[in-house]
Amino acid sequence: MTTLTMTRLDPQSRAARRGMSDISIRNLFIIPTILFLIIFNIFPLLYSLYYSFTDFRASTNAPANWVGLANYRELLNDPFIWTNFTITAKYVIVSVAGQVVVGFGVAMLLNRDIPFKGLITTLLLLPMMLSMAVVGLFWKLLYDPSFGIINYVLGLGRFEWLSDPDMALYAVAITDIWMWSPFVMLLSLAGLSAVPKHLYEAAAIDRAGPLYTFFRITLPLVAPILMIAIIFRTMEAFKTFDIAYIMTSQPTTEMIAIRLYKMAFQEWQTGMSCAFAYIVLIMVVAITNIYVKYLNKVKER
Amino acid sequence: MTTEIELRNIQKWFGSNQVIKDFNLTIAPHEFIVMLGQSGCGKTTTLRAIAGLETIDDGDILIDGEPVQHLKCSDRDIAMVFQSFSLYPHMTVYENIAFPLRATRMGKADIDKAVKEIARILQISDLLDKRPSALSGGDMQRVAIGRALVRQPKAMLMDEPIGALDAKLREQMRAEIKRLHVKQGSTTVYVTHDQVEAMSLADRIVIMHDGKLQQVGRPEEVYLHPANLFVAQFVGSPVMNVADIDIGTADSATEIRLQGSEKGFAFGDAALTGIRRDAPVALGIRPEAVLLSHSKSNDHLSAVTTNIEPLGSHDIVDVKIGGQTLRARTESGFVAGEGQEVWVNLDPEQAHFFDRESGLSLRKAQ
């Protein structure tokens, strides 16, 4: 099939003179990619699926015993795991909602003729380009109760952002909002500038007020691209590890990725953690599917 | 809907470029005004200024005697149909038409009644559940007109509303717009660059050029008595012949000689009253006033046909007299081909004379 649609190799070309056919050139480009995918993605995926049904521990030489669904049963009955899921859900909701509100709001502000618009946009995108670990480390300094600038500016005295068990998760979420709002802003800005100007003129002629115009014209037309931003950010927030791991070690901030890390590389329960990873994978796929369904519904219009 | 719109000394600059120059116009209630001009002549800007989408730098816009130039468009209560239709793509036809009513918080039952009524008038009742993307160009335009009419605005503005449609549909929609206007009687300002549209729709035509108003008048007035060379050449198809002439006498009769030609057309003095003989004058004559004949006679000049456009109902024949070419309208098949000798005369009754320098018609008084 593919060979039928392929353009024939020019017989005068250098490749042809070296005795290469167009099929061999195709293989030259595609096979490395496929090999890479198989070795680093597909093989580990299947390998860990197998381990998730065993009691394998990578720290010992003991052979892996087949235990069937025991790992999954144990995990789903473990109340501590459910606490991790609750924490993660709370974090995802706060962080993604915050990013959408801040990002979309800033995009609305930027979506007009202002001086230095390009420069401002570029500067606002900077947080996104930093490394997660770096962001976590210097926000730890900003939050510091004794010399952190946040307490100084807000006049909060010695407020414990990261060691207060009730506050720590929100402190991490705020950092995440700071870092990733620009991403939502960038996509929203693309969506906003794609709304034709004449629709706003038509709405003005139709005597629609600013709020009515926003909710009936702007928001519905930006919704599809905003939805894509939300899908990306939800998936990312769901698997958050580095920021939270670096900034704090409260039990109230132990999200599933951290729990998974501890299970796999501190407790060496390799089989069990593989099963856990699969549960997380299924959940992420499920959530993404809901979003994509909704996105398709929005896009139909 | 007996709205009067008055424009007084409107001035508008885009940077250093003045796009509306001292524009004055009074639009009577129920009147259908067509603003005609080439693209970039300021007609759309004037329309948008009336709507409130464009600010003006000087002058007054009065709606029913009230100055509105400082009001936002939502406070002027004027509806507008855009060239690009500007339908809301994410709403159904019903929601599109209901939008202006919902935006002003009208009751649900009243909205439903108004939308269904307007859909019935525009014959789009069976399209109400569709989205704009599923409609044809003509139906989209009907919906756009419906959205404008549904709230019974003080006045209707249309910016080349059928310019994006194909020729056949344009003709059909033209008739429909006329029918609607007769029925609804709302004061309407319509912008177009198509003179056929202007002639067929307008109560009065406003011709603009380069930001300046050139002439206002009923379609036949504009056609029969163009105020200047621009109007003369802009209105009418094919374009009016314009030729530089000398006015002289031969055999004690006044004669009009096309420059470059030795002989002239005998014109009665009556046709030339009030026309100065010393200034450079241009003759304007419509193709239907250029008379061709196969038989030689004394008051006709000999000419050679250079080009023939057969148009079915009539032919357009180019004839060369001296160095200049005149276009004549003949019955179809009157001249068999190029290069034939024919005899030409002009109808003095339908001749126009223009000052070459100012371009103004020299018989404006009539």
Alpha carbon distance B9, B58 (integer Å)? 7
**Interchain CB contact of B53 with A (< 8 Å):** yes
Is a pLDDT exceeding 50 seen at residue B236?
Answer: yes
The alpha carbon dihedral of A113, A118, A124, A129 has a sign of positive
CB contact (8 A) between residue A206 and residue B100: yes
Q: Contacts of residue A206 in chain B, CB cutoff 8 Å?
A: 79, 99-100, 103, 147, 151
* Peptide bond before residue B238 is cis, with ω within 30 degrees of 0: yes
Provide the number of CB pairs (under 8 Å) joining chain A to chain B.
Answer: 62
Decide the pairing of beta strands B301-310 and B314-321. Answer: antiparallel
Work out the burial of residue A241: count CB atoms within 10 Å of its CB; fewer than 13 is exposed, 13-18 middle, 19 or more buried.
middle
CATH of region B5-228: 3.40.50.300
CB contact (8 A) between residue B99 and residue A221: no
CB contact (8 A) between residue B80 and residue A202: yes
* pLDDT tens per residue across span A53-106: 999 888 888 888 899 899 999 999 999 999 999 999 999 999 999 999 999 999
Q: Looking up tokens 């020299």, which residue turns up?
A: B362
* pLDDT tens per residue across span B128-185: 999 999 998 889 989 999 999 898 888 999 999 888 788 888 888 888 889 888 888 8
Q: In chain B, which among 99-128 make CB contacts under 8 A with chain A?
A: 99-100, 102-104
**Interchain CB contact of B86 with A (< 8 Å):** yes
Nearest to B93 by CA among B65, B68, B122: B122
Is a pLDDT exceeding 50 seen at residue A211?
Answer: yes
Q: Which residue of A has its CA nearest to B83?
A: A198
**Interchain CB contact of A198 with B (< 8 Å):** yes
Q: Contacts of residue A211 in chain B, CB cutoff 8 Å?
A: none
CB contact burial B32-65 (16+ within 10 A = b; e otherwise): bbbbbbeeebbbbbbbbbbbbbbebeebebebee
CB contact (8 A) between residue A202 and residue B82: yes
**Interchain CB contact of B246 with A (< 8 Å):** no
Q: Which amino acid is at B149?
A: L
CA distance B75 to chain A (A): 7
**Interchain CB contact of A220 with B (< 8 Å):** yes
CA distance A108 to chain B (A): 20
Structure tokens at A292: 């994509």
Alpha carbon distance A44, B345 (integer Å)? 96
Task: Give the 3-state secondary structure of residue B197.
Answer: helix
Is a pLDDT exceeding 80 seen at residue B277?
Answer: no
Q: What is the ipTM of this complex?
A: 0.81
Is a pLDDT exceeding 50 seen at residue B366?
Answer: no
Alpha carbon distance B65, A158 (integer Å)? 67
CB contact (8 A) between residue B131 and residue A209: no
User: Where are the domains positioned within chain A?
Assistant: 2-51, 79-299
Alpha carbon distance B5, A88 (integer Å)? 63
CB contact (8 A) between residue B82 and residue A216: no
Nearest to B3 by CA among B66, B69, B70: B66
User: Where are the domains positioned within chain B?
Assistant: 5-228, 241-355
* pLDDT tens per residue across span A118-159: 999 999 999 999 999 999 999 999 999 888 899 999 988 888
Contact B280, B357 (CB under 8 A): yes
Task: Give the 3-state secondary structure of residue B271.
Answer: helix
The whole model's pTM is what?
0.78
Please name the CATH architecture into which domain A79-299 falls: Orthogonal Bundle (1.10)
Q: What is the DSSP string of A161-217?
A: TTTSTTTHHHHHHHHHHHHHHHHHHHHHHHHHHTS-HHHHHHHHHTT--HHHHIIII
Assigned superfamily of B241-355: Nucleic acid-binding proteins (2.40.50.140)
* pLDDT tens per residue across span A182-200: 999 999 999 999 999 999 9
Task: List the single best residue of A207, A216, A221 to mutate versus B (max B Cβ within 10 A).
Answer: A207
